[in-house]
Structure 1
Amino acid sequence: MTAGEALALHVSTDAAAFRVRLYRLGRELEFMAEPGPYPGVRKEPPPHPDGPAGAASPAVDWGFPEYLIEVPGDWPPGIYLAQLVEEERREAVPRLGDGDIEGFAREFFVVRPRRPGSHGRILYKKSTFTRHAYNRADREDVRRDGSLYDNPVYGTGGDGYPRGHRLSMRRPGGVIDLAWWDAPFIAWLERCGYAVEYCTDLDLHRDPELLAPYDLLLSVGHDEYWSPAMREHTAAHLRAGGNVAFLSANTCWWRVHLTDDDTGFVSDTDHHVDGVFPHLPSTDLWWAAPPDGVGTPENTLTGVSFRNGGMWPGEWPGDRPRAGYRVQHSGHWVFEGTGLRDGSDGGPVDRLGAGTPLIGYECDGAAFAYDERGVARATGADGTPGSFLILGLYELEPVNEDVTTMKWGHWNCPVREPERTGPRAATMGVHTVDGGGTVFTAGTTDWPVVCGREEDPGVVRVTRNVLDRLSRRGAGDTARP
């Protein structure tokens, strides 16, 4: 939404009345306003069409009553948090602090400036489609178990819907991913003085001109679900000389088709329905060739793919191996000021992020091979651009029973590509589009966590180098070793 417009909040509650506390995420959680009270109305969630006990349907609009809240025109751009508080309890409920972002009875929204680009040339994209895919629509005391992963609803197509798993974005849920990936990184951005504006996946999907005022687009954290329009608009931005930094992983893995006036989407995925995969192969994988997939590998945009990466098999977020990225091409501008070495001077090879859980919980990689000097180079066999330069590598173990190491692969990949036996690795790198902009990819979901918490000075400096250089068009990957 744009500053000065009305926020439409859909709420069901058995409270007689409630208020809405509004906060902005910045260097700290800033209280902005507390409108209300509003009369409470209770509406039951729709039952799951297949009848799992206690599950609600993830496929339809829950139809909660709408409340309009005027957002002042002078509110700064940002990601905001709405906390619902019962009117009779509001004096006893303290305001939220920096450590209280995660939880139920709250939702986030994005405020954009009236004049795009007037506050900054960096656009931060919040991965909202991925959030909706994982949202089970639970509440604090009730599990509803409805998402693309829990009791999904599959449709065979027709009535304006493509074949695939159906999901409505008009369902309730708590705030989780925002607290883990976004909040610490946004706080760091503001502490460092970066001027940033914000958007959602839906903004990028709808508006082909959205990126025109900006020099750098940021993808942060877990950015798994992309529409064709999102890819087209991002690729056009790069061709026009704009830049992209993927501080994320599992990026652009599934294609989504927007439905229901852009309030829902469909994706033909490999998520089972009542223990059965309704249709295989799942045709909305970006990388797989038609008719078994889309045939446009995510590597062509990001340089990397989840099929050449892997994931942490334990509890999320969990602890993970802390070896970090083995550094390559330490003379590249990305490493400027880090003091990291790649062994070419006869000394040891350094590791970026060593001692921190930088790699994972999911990570992406490029198909690669070692040359005669032991330097990993992208082969391009998976669609990775020829200009992609591998700057950091963390080799993953094949899938086995030892859950103390990161595992490569996704079940779709060994099944579809059984002949592929080459190494997999989380991969950090950079490439430049012919005649256009530059792409940096971190290759791991938790890059913004390690940077935002300032757990490793090398990760912080690399991030600053990327932001400082790529926030100016035409200043991208011009200094390659």
Structure 2
Amino acid sequence: MRPRVPGSRSRILYKKSTFTRHAYNRSDRPGLERAVSLYDHPVHRVGNGDEPRGHKVSLHRPGGVIDLAYWDAPFIAWLERHGYPVEYCTDLDLHEDPGLLASYDLLLSVGHDEYWSAAMRTHAERFVADGGNIAFLSANTCWWRVHPTDGNTAFVSDTDHHVGDEYPHLPATDQWWVPAPDGVGNPENTLTGVSFRNGGMWPATEWPGDRPRVGYTVQHADHWIYEGTGLRDGSDGGTADRLGAGTPLIGYECDGAAFSCDADGIARATGEDGTPKSFLILGIHVLEPVHEDFHHFKWGHWNGPAREPTISSPRAATMGLHTADGGGTVFTAGTTDWPVVCGHEQDPAVGRVTRNLLDRLRHRSPRPGRARPDR
């Protein structure tokens, strides 16, 4: 997927979430070792000096996952219709090449981007620290760490997924936010601004299912992200508008930040979960009803994973952005289905916000005196 000359066609790099794709890949073919998925009778290995413990899956398997058709295809078509050329890479490209992002100004994460290697994380963080921009039009993002192995033809991840009716062991040591030694100890929201542990998942037999279609309550309507949308935030005495109202914008999985509301009712990130202090909440939707036992899904509810018991704010899908010390801007949509609603043009304001985002972040500002796009 990588271009022969990186950056020759576009300064926007679209990353395909191939690790997540294969984590869910249940495909099979006679004569080919299946190596299962992480969700369907995964093979758990104790680990040794050459390979970490956890579930192992092969990257050398045919398709069988609808991610390309559901998230990627409509959004790529939208990009082409609206004149945004992009270049492409896979998770493995970002994992293997520490210099890959040097040729770009904006990295796109689209749809469902759950599984990240430590090298991917390091390269993305260095990119932002050096003034590069990232747009996470995704959710459940960077939830599990993976360890590429076998010459990068497979990966291992120590997750909490069951094998039959049993769990091989707990804790699952490849959860990014969980403190070491039980987890990685590097919360994903230090990069993305949000975390799945503050959001949730709405189960359905098919997408989008029966989940609520309420959209994001708009905050800071004077921000450049809302330019040209006509949306209001209620500061004029009226009712705040909702971005994506009437569409399945929120879900099926969504991420959030710990927050509290000020005297004017504006939600502001507290930072107690690791979210950067500069993170500005631009849209929020408090999830309800919520079911707190993530290992036993409850239909018709947002199912929330475990999180720190000290966090008391409601689970909420959260859209916002922050600016790193090095000047790079990170935007997060906080929901997996942003590229679906945008790609199928189900809400004009979602499309306009996406265009504002791409127009602003596809060019780095000069490092000296770089303006802060978070306000």
The answer to whether the superposition gives a TM-score over 0.5 is yes
Tell me how far apart the structure 2 counterparts of residues 188 and 179 of structure 1 sit (CA, whole Å): 13
Moved over 4 A (4+): none
* CA shift for structure 1 position 422: 2.5
Is the 2:322–2:374 contact (alpha carbons within 8 Å) kept by the matching residues of 1? Answer: no
Q: Does residue 437 of the first structure (1) align with residue 331 of the second (2)? A: no
Match of 2:300 in 1: 404
Tell me how far apart the structure 2 counterparts of residues 477 and 170 of structure 1 sit (CA, whole Å): 44
Match of 2:261 in 1: 370
Is the 2:35–2:43 contact (alpha carbons within 8 Å) kept by the matching residues of 1? Answer: no
Tell me how far apart the structure 2 counterparts of residues 459 and 153 of structure 1 sit (CA, whole Å): 41
Q: Does residue 268 of the first structure (1) align with residue 163 of the second (2)? A: no
Q: Does residue 191 of the first structure (1) align with residue 81 of the second (2)? A: yes
Match of 2:7 among 117, 131, 145: 117
Tell me how far apart the structure 1 counterparts of residues 64 and 280 of structure 2 sit (CA, whole Å): 39
**Partner-residue secondary structure (3-state), 2:69:** helix
TM alignment of 1:170-319, pairs within 5 A: 170-319=60-209
Is the 2:329–2:373 contact (alpha carbons within 8 Å) kept by the matching residues of 1? Answer: no
What is the one-letter code of the residue matched to 1:459? V
* CA shift for structure 1 position 175: 4.5
166-175 or 244-253, larger mean C-alpha shift: 166-175
- Structure 1 residue ranges without an equivalent (≥5): 1-109
Is the 1:138–1:145 contact (alpha carbons within 8 Å) kept by the matching residues of 2? Answer: no
Cα deviation 1:195-219 (Å, max 9, x = unaligned) = 1000000000000010001000000
* CA shift for structure 1 position 173: 3.1
**Partner-residue secondary structure (3-state), 1:212:** helix
Match of 2:315 in 1: 424
Tell me how far apart the structure 1 counterparts of residues 81 and 95 of structure 2 sit (CA, whole Å): 30
> Residues 425, 461 of structure 1: CA spacing in aligned structure 2 closer, same or farther, 3 A cutoff?
same
Match of 1:83 in 2: none
What is the one-letter code of the residue matched to 2:356? N
> Residues 273, 402 of structure 1: CA spacing in aligned structure 2 closer, same or farther, 3 A cutoff?
closer
Match of 2:252 among 352, 357, 361: 361
Is the 1:130–1:224 contact (alpha carbons within 8 Å) kept by the matching residues of 2? Answer: yes
What is the one-letter code of the residue matched to 1:404? G
* CA shift for structure 1 position 194: 0.6
* CA shift for structure 1 position 134: 0.2
Instruction: Determine which structure has more spread, i.e. the larger CA radius of gyration.
Output: 1
Cα deviation 1:250-303 (Å, max 9, x = unaligned) = 000000011000001111000011211111010100000001100000000000
**Partner-residue secondary structure (3-state), 1:359:** coil
Tell me how far apart the structure 2 counterparts of residues 130 and 428 of structure 1 sit (CA, whole Å): 22
What is the one-letter code of the residue matched to 1:277? Y
- Structure 2 residue ranges without an equivalent (≥5): none
* CA shift for structure 1 position 158: 1.0
**Partner-residue secondary structure (3-state), 2:103:** coil
TM-score (norm: length of structure 2): 0.93
Tell me how far apart the structure 2 counterparts of residues 233 and 145 of structure 1 sit (CA, whole Å): 29
* CA shift for structure 1 position 477: 6.6
* CA shift for structure 1 position 172: 2.4
What is the one-letter code of the residue matched to 2:361? L
> Residues 180, 464 of structure 1: CA spacing in aligned structure 2 closer, same or farther, 3 A cutoff?
same
What is the one-letter code of the residue matched to 1:386? K
What is the one-letter code of the residue matched to 1:295? G
**Partner-residue secondary structure (3-state), 2:128:** helix
> Residues 425, 408 of structure 1: CA spacing in aligned structure 2 closer, same or farther, 3 A cutoff?
farther
Match of 2:42 in 1: 152
Tell me how far apart the structure 1 counterparts of residues 202 and 319 of structure 2 sit (CA, whole Å): 18
Tell me how far apart the structure 1 counterparts of residues 373 and 133 of structure 2 sit (CA, whole Å): 16
Cα deviation 1:68-104 (Å, max 9, x = unaligned) = xxxxxxxxxxxxxxxxxxxxxxxxxxxxxxxxxxxxx
Is the 2:136–2:192 contact (alpha carbons within 8 Å) kept by the matching residues of 1? Answer: yes
Is the 1:432–1:477 contact (alpha carbons within 8 Å) kept by the matching residues of 2? Answer: no
Cα deviation 1:171-192 (Å, max 9, x = unaligned) = 2232511000000000000011
**Partner-residue secondary structure (3-state), 1:211:** helix
Tell me how far apart the structure 2 counterparts of residues 266 and 145 of structure 1 sit (CA, whole Å): 11
TM alignment of 1:76-95, pairs within 5 A: none
* CA shift for structure 1 position 316: 3.6
**Partner-residue secondary structure (3-state), 1:236:** helix
Match of 1:127 in 2: 17
Is the 1:365–1:424 contact (alpha carbons within 8 Å) kept by the matching residues of 2? Answer: yes
Tell me how far apart the structure 2 counterparts of residues 305 and 420 of structure 1 sit (CA, whole Å): 13
* CA shift for structure 1 position 160: 1.3
Aligned length: 363
Is the 1:336–1:465 contact (alpha carbons within 8 Å) kept by the matching residues of 2? Answer: yes
What is the one-letter code of the residue matched to 1:425? A
* CA shift for structure 1 position 421: 3.8
Is the 1:308–1:408 contact (alpha carbons within 8 Å) kept by the matching residues of 2? Answer: no
Match of 1:452 in 2: 343
* CA shift for structure 1 position 419: 5.0
Match of 1:332 among 223, 243, 265: 223
